Structure 1
Amino acid sequence: MSRLAILLFALLSGVGCNSAIPPTIELRSADVDEITTDELELQFNVKVTNPNAFALPVSAATYNLRLGGITVIEGEAKPTVTIPAEGSLPVAIPISIGFERLMMAEQALIESKGNVPYEMVGSLEFSAGPLKSLGQGVRVPLKLSGTLPLRDAVKNPLALLTSPAGRKFVDAVLGKGLGDFLSR
């Protein structure tokens, strides 16, 4: 019986040695990647540093994006990148926001003149390389904040004007009535 107890103790204490050390995440930029007639494609670029002796595949990025304190979208992205052992790589987290959702923060867009403060809260999830077979993954919280340069993104608003929500967005960022005026 004592041999079994010693063997069990040895096995259990060895499991803790194989846990993954959480990677570090650093914000590089938050940009408007593309504007279509229906939505804005934002891209949050982070640098992920993996301190482990094994690679960590990124399996998901969850997010809750707030503009001017108003939640405009929640979701999940699936970046396809593996952070090398004891290395770093950039990871892009794309977020698409329809103009209707964007206008939930209309007051913040108007008050900030289009360069709106944001906060993105969520997590990056990693399938922990060799620990995947043990069912262990790593979830690292994200809390990013800064200013989105939406005013700069709509300097050529003609692409937005075919959508009523796009015109409303242009009005909020560039001034009331401008969307209707430019679409004539």
Structure 2
Amino acid sequence: MCDSSNRINCFFSLTAVLLAILVSSCSTINAVPPEINLMRVDVQDVTLSHVNLVADIRIFNPNEKALTIQGVDYTLHLEGIKVFAGQNNMSQIIAPHEYGHMTLRLSSAYWDIIQLLNKLPNKSDIAFSMAGSIRVGGSRIFAQRFSFAKQGIIPLQKTIP
């Protein structure tokens, strides 16, 4: 049976733990969003049903404090067709004013690739757009989400006969 002094001790202990979690989660509230750039995309594997690629992104921390990256959600569109989507939940700490690198696994069904190939016959470049969100914070529960969107052109290499 619990007496009143044990209840008070339990209450104060629980309050202290909750306060510590709240304070640690507030450390990223004033964080400036990290800068994200798509560095390269490589074919990793071709299966009977999917094409698997690997994309490398570079993340710059513009803040005065280290940022803990808790994960990235992303989609990649080529020529306006949503070709790849995925998620990376690896945690990474990036020092202030430094770069970090993250590898994203991309997977696409052949139907999406066929739609893309139908748009490419006479193109010398492929328009891409990558969008998603990056989770930043000391804990996964209280992580702050920053959205990102990047657009650009991927030049196609011409083979010389």
Q: What band does the TM-score fall into relative to the shorter chain?
A: 0.5 to 0.7
Aligned to 1:10: none
Root-mean-square deviation over aligned CA pairs: 3.1
Aligned to 2:45: 34
Match of 1:141 among 140, 148, 154: 148
Stretches of structure 2 lacking an aligned partner (at least 5 in a row): 1-25
Deviations 1:48-94 (A, max 9, x none): 0113313322322221x322233334x33124141323132111122
SS at match of 2:121: helix
Q: How many residues of Structure 1 are paired with residues of Structure 2 in the alignment? A: 132
Aligned pairs for 1:64-75 (under 5 A) are 65-73=76-84, 75=85
TM-score, with length taken from structure 2: 0.64
SS at match of 2:48: coil
Note closer, same or farther for the CA distance 1:17–1:91 as it changes in structure 2 (3 Å cut). Answer: closer
TM-score, with length taken from structure 1: 0.57
1:123 and 2:132 matched: yes
State the percentage of identical aligned residues.
Answer: 17
Stretches of structure 1 lacking an aligned partner (at least 5 in a row): 1-14, 153-184
Question: Greater helix share, 1 or 2?
Answer: 1
> Does structure 1 conserve the Cα–Cα contact (< 8 Å) formed by 2:86 and 2:107?
no
Q: How many Å apart are 1:22 and its aligned residue?
A: 0.9
> Does structure 1 conserve the Cα–Cα contact (< 8 Å) formed by 2:67 and 2:136?
no
Question: Greater strand share, 1 or 2?
Answer: 2
Aligned to 1:57: 69
